[in-house]
Amino acid sequence: MLGTFQQSHIRIEVAASQKTIRESLLHSDKLSKWLWHIKLSPGLPEQLHAGLTFTTSIGFIGIQHQVEILQDNCLRILLSQGIDGYHEWYWGENWLQSRLEGISLLPLNLAQTLSLLQLRQFLGNGE
């Protein structure tokens, strides 16, 4: 894989319950709303589940995702192709934490920050 090893850990406060955050991360219709700049695989099931593999694309760069761990307040996704690494999500009442590590040519910290800001705005709008 070409690129550099990057890691980023961000924790933010959000105006949402643990249940609402979970739904926003796991329901494909909600994912497509707050991740509007990323194209999700066609035929994605209504809700993510452990073992699910799907792809996204940012422009011409494809990223394969495999849901490795899914618990009440934790999601871990293995990444390959455009990013070789993983993305972990943890959440609770009014907070959300994201940890992203991988090798990529993409600026992972910037992409992670923008995505979290989009999710915060989405949650703040009562979704």
Q: 27 by DSSP, 3-state: which?
A: strand
Backbone φ and ψ for 31, nearest 5 degrees, come out as -55, -45
CATH code assigned at 68: 3.30.530.20
pLDDT band, very low/low/confident/very high, at 36 (cuts 50, 70, 90): confident
Nearest to 122 by CA among 39, 41, 35: 35
- Of the listed ranges 2-11, 16-25, 33-42, 81-90, the least confidently predicted one is 33-42
Give the total number of structural domains in the chain.
1
Q: Specify the pLDDT at position 80.
A: 96
Among 96, 93, 91, CA closest to 113: 96
Whether 49 contacts 68, CB under 8 Å: no
* Element at 98 (helix H, strand E): strand 95-104
Tell me the per-residue pLDDT of 80-102, one tens digit each, with 9 for 90 and over: 999 999 999 999 999 999 999 99
What number of residues does the chain have? 127
Q: Which domain holds residue 120?
A: 4-124
